[in-house]
Amino acid sequence: EDKVVQSPLSLVVHEGDTVTLNCSYEVTNFRSLLWYKQEKKAPTFLFMLTSSGIEKKSGRLSSILDKKELFSILNITATQTGDSAIYLCAVVEGGSEKLVFGKGMKLTVNP
């Protein structure tokens, strides 16, 4: 059973649209949740969330965590073709060094 579930698994939008990516998780002792962006090669870090209700923001990207409902969302406003990538969500369980990744969500932004 998957501990980290991302939805949708793929999405095609037009430039300028706003998108919301979802990540739900089920772990026994939550420590942190991380978002990564993966283009052609290695994943690059976007956000790490540990506290509920506190929005992290970087330019057009923002993310928030709901520890009560066990999910996080990643918002991208005014999308650009450069936002096309796979977005990965991962959760760290307390007491462990390990990240558990979701399957990833493929975003395609068309001009």
Partner 1 sequence: NAGVTQTPKFQVLKTGQSMTLQCAQDMNHNSMYWYRQDPGMGLRLIYYSASEGTTDKGEVPNGYNVSRLNKREFSLRLESAAPSQTSVYFCASGRDRGLSEQYFGPGTRLTVT
Q: Please report which helix (H) or strand (E) contains residue 75, including its range.
A: strand 71-76
Query: CA 79, 45, 6, 9: dihedral to nearest 10 degrees?
Result: 50
Nearest approach in angstroms of CB 15 to partner 1 is 27
Nearest approach in angstroms of CB 45 to partner 1 is 4
Nearest to 11 by CA among 102, 108, 79: 108
For partner 1, the binding residue among 44, 80, 81, 108 (CB under 8 A) is 44
Q: Is 29 helix (H, G, I), strand (E, B) or coil?
A: coil
Segment 69-108, which members bind partner 1 (CB under 8 A)?
88, 90, 92-94, 96-104
Residues that bind partner 1 (CB under 8 A): 31-32, 34, 41-45, 48, 50, 88, 90, 92-94, 96-104
